[in-house]
Amino acid sequence: MTATGSPIDFVLPDELSAHEPPEARGVPRDGVRMLVSTPYAQAHRIFRELPDVLCPGDVLVVNTSATLPAAAPTLDGQAVHFSTANPDGTWLVEPRGALAPTAATGQRIDLRGGGSVTLLAPYSRGRLWVASLSFADVRTYLNSHGSPIRYDYVPREWPLSAYQTVFATEPGSAEMPSAARPFTDRVVTRLVAAGVQVVPIVLHTGVASAEAHERPYPEWFEVPNTTARVLAGARRVIAVGTTVVRALETTGGAAGSGWTDLVVTPERGVRVVDGLLTGFHPPRASHLDLLAAVAGPDLVARSYREALAAGYRWHEFGDVNLLLSERAVAAV
């Protein structure tokens, strides 16, 4: 594994990709594995043991964005992925399959169910397009005709419920904020009983950055006043997912809402977050820079070496990694 470059690089064996939800393998949501990583030690746990790992007074920040069925089928058997709603009513979309290499300005793509999108201009990175729509109520259209976005490592479709977290209340994410997928009502109840505060933010995720050089796209977020007040008195702040880190670091832990284009890197560092619960990310994914900003590149590299050696599973249906920075350990 290479940790000197950025992002971190390694080889992911195919057998370590989670090809289906853990429930399909006979493992409950909260029964996935959890690698707990600190600068001084690593421990192999089961996710439902999280209340035993965290401390009274810790603040766990979760994303309440719900996943949309954002893959819309076209009349010719391809798909368009709906990523992000723009303030002017247009959307960022990604033509998929055979549509991708032939996409052109002014092209109309007919969707099943009578809708269509018209490509207006390539977005700055080229993979996404700004598009106008023939229908106004995108959520209703997608609920009727769309399906959850999935990639080649998930060979079959799963219902939208498989892509929702226990915290999901605000529809808007193109892809699941998957770090929170292992949470169940019983785990949350045990966390609260153990003195851990669980507070919400919202960040609607766009489509994942597929290339190493791509950085996260602008995304809409909200940090509520109630959450900001809790954060102001927190001893340790543990973010559940990279989306939470992005929102909190955008506002500095204060209340606020809007669009964020913040890129969290090791050079910038983090000011609010002390620890991060996250899934395992693909080689050279830009999210690995964010992990390194929270925990340091050496700890992230050690964690990934351990996870690879121990057979942890990757991607949205896989296992999770609790990264606790030196600052988080010192605060106990």
> For the segment 45-64, what is each residue's pLDDT rounded down to a tens digit?
999 999 999 999 999 999 99
Q: How far apart are CA 95 and CA 80, in angstroms?
A: 5
Amino acid 329: pLDDT: 87
Q: How many CB atoms lie within 10 A of CB 241?
A: 28
pLDDT band at 214 (very low <50, low <70, confident <90, very high): low
Tokens of 42: 């690593």
DSSP 168-230: --EEEESS--GGGTT--HHHHHHHHHTT-EEEEEEE---SPP-STT--PPPEEEEE-HHHHHH
* pLDDT at site 4: 43
Q: Residue 87 — very low, low, confident or very high, per pLDDT cuts 50/70/90?
A: confident
Q: Cα–Cα distance between 62 and 247 in angstroms, integer?
A: 11
Rounded to 5 degrees, what are φ and ψ at 201? -135, 170
Q: What is the pLDDT of residue 212?
A: 47
pLDDT computed for residue 213 by the predictor:
53
Residue range 108-126: mean pLDDT, rounded:
91
Say how many C-beta atoms besides its own lie within 10 A of residue 271's C-beta: 9
Q: What is the pLDDT of residues 251-271, one digit of tens each?
A: 999 999 999 999 999 999 999
Q: What is the mean pLDDT of residues 214-218?
A: 72
- CA distances 294 to 201, 269, 309, Å, are 18, 7, 23
User: Which stretch of 15-29, 76-90, 160-174, 197-211 has the lowest confidence by average pLDDT?
Assistant: 197-211
Distance, CA of 222 to CA of 314 (rounded, Å): 28
Residues 285 and 7: their CA atoms lie apart, in Å, by: 6
| 92 phi-psi bin (left φ>0, alpha ψ -120 to 50, beta other) | beta
Residue 299 has pLDDT above 50, yes or no: yes
Average pLDDT over residues 208-224: 74
199 pLDDT higher than 80: yes
β-pairing, 129-133 with 91-95?
Answer: antiparallel
Residue 284 is predicted with a pLDDT of: 84
- Mean pLDDT along residues 1-9: 58
Q: Provide CB contacts within 8 A for 154, sequence distance 6+.
A: 19, 20, 315, 317
Q: 237-253, pLDDT tens digit by residue? A: 999 999 999 999 999 99
Helices 242-251 and 287-295: angle between axes, nearest 10 degrees: 70
Residue 69 has pLDDT above 60, yes or no: yes
Count of helix runs (H) and strand runs (E) in the chain = 9, 17
Q: What CA–CA distance (Å, rounded) separates 306 from 292?
A: 16
What is the predicted pLDDT for the residue at 208? 74
* Percent of the chain scoring above 70 in pLDDT: 95
Backbone phi, then psi, for 189, in 5-degree steps? -60, -45
Residue 215 — pLDDT band, cuts 50, 70, 90? Answer: low
With a cut of 80, say whether residue 6 has pLDDT above it: no
pLDDT given at position 8: 80
Section 193-215 average pLDDT: 83
Domains and CATH numbers, the chain: 14-67+158-330 (3.40.1780.10), 71-145 (2.40.10)
Q: Determine the pLDDT at residue 209.
A: 56
